[in-house]
Amino acid sequence: MTTTNRALLLVEDNEDDVFLMKRALKAAHVINELCVVEDGQEALDYLSGAGKFADRDSYPLPAVVFLDLKLPYISGHDVLAWIRRQKNLDSLVVIVLTSSNEASDLSRCYALGANSYLVKPPTPDQLEDLARSFKWYWLEYNHFDES
């Protein structure tokens, strides 16, 4: 076990989904700090440390980003593409978490360098299940580049 305690960033404009995700992670006993931004531009600002996000104590650089695709201002695809252009974010794990299971979205996200693609499960139980699997795989087994 290499359990990481680094922060997680949720890029999600739907506050219900934010609520449900927080609840599922909590149910799965994920104790990592969960930061939330509500649109693509904010995600870019957060990750680049622009404005108020320069304060890394309050807004730590995350180990994992949960990225919704349908976002205001800048879409999830563009956020993903931007992340993969940033040298210092090479080791950032990007998990696309979307309600779309369109083949076009899937292939595009992998082409842009997504680490994983998850479709939002319809029921809270399934979401909780997903959160548990996430914790088990990404937070406990996966090795992060800590340099």
Partner 1 sequence: MAQRQTSIQKRVRAVILLASVIVLFVTAGAFVIYEAIDFRAQLVRNLSTLAAVIADNSVAPLAFDNKAIAEEILAALRAQSDIEAAAVYDDDGNIFATYPPALPASLLPSAVAGKGHQFRDGALVLFVPVLQEQKPIGTLYLRSSFRGLYEQLWRYGIIVLIVLAGAFGIAFMLSTLLQKRISEPILALTQAAETITRQSDYSVRAPKLTDDELGTLTDAFNRMLSETQENQASLAEQARLLDLSTDAIIVRDLQGVIQFWNRGAQEVYGWTGAEALGKQKHQLLQTEFTEPLEQIMDKLQRQGRWAGELVQRRRDGTRIHVSTRWVLDHETGTNLARVLITDNDITLQKQAEELMKSEAKRLDALVEQRTATLQETIGELEAFSYSISHDMRAPLRAMQGYAKALLADYDGRLDAEAKRYLDRIFRGANRLDLLIQDVLAYSRVAKGEIDLHPVYLERLVDDIISANPEFQAPLARISVEVPLHRVLGHDAYLTQCVTNLLGNAVKFVPPGVVPEVCIRTERVDGKIRIWFEDNGIGIDPLHHQRIFQIFGQVHPEKKYGGTGIGLAIVRKAVQRMNGEAGVESEENHGSRFWLLLNGGEI
Contact 8, 63 (CB under 8 A): yes
The CA distance from 133 to 139, in Å, is: 9
Which residue, among 117, 119, 118, 63, has the nearest Cα to 93 in the 3D structure? 63
Q: Which is nearer to partner 1, 125 or 140 (CB)?
A: 125
If one asks whether residue 112 binds partner 1 (CB under 8 A), the answer comes out as no
| Contact with partner 1 (CB under 8 A) among 5, 16, 88, 145 | 16
If one asks whether residue 100 binds partner 1 (CB under 8 A), the answer comes out as yes
| Contact with partner 1 (CB under 8 A) among 20, 25, 79, 114 | 20
The site that binds partner 1 (CB under 8 A) totals a number of residues, namely 19
Q: Which is nearer to partner 1, 34 or 61 (CB)?
A: 34
The CA distance from 56 to 99, in Å, is: 31
| Contact with partner 1 (CB under 8 A) among 4, 14, 41, 115 | 14
Contact 28, 138 (CB under 8 A): no
Which residue, among 120, 53, 36, 114, has the nearest Cα to 78 in the 3D structure? 114
Could you list the residues that contact partner 1 (CB under 8 A)?
Answer: 14, 16-17, 19-20, 23, 69-70, 98-102, 120, 122-125, 127
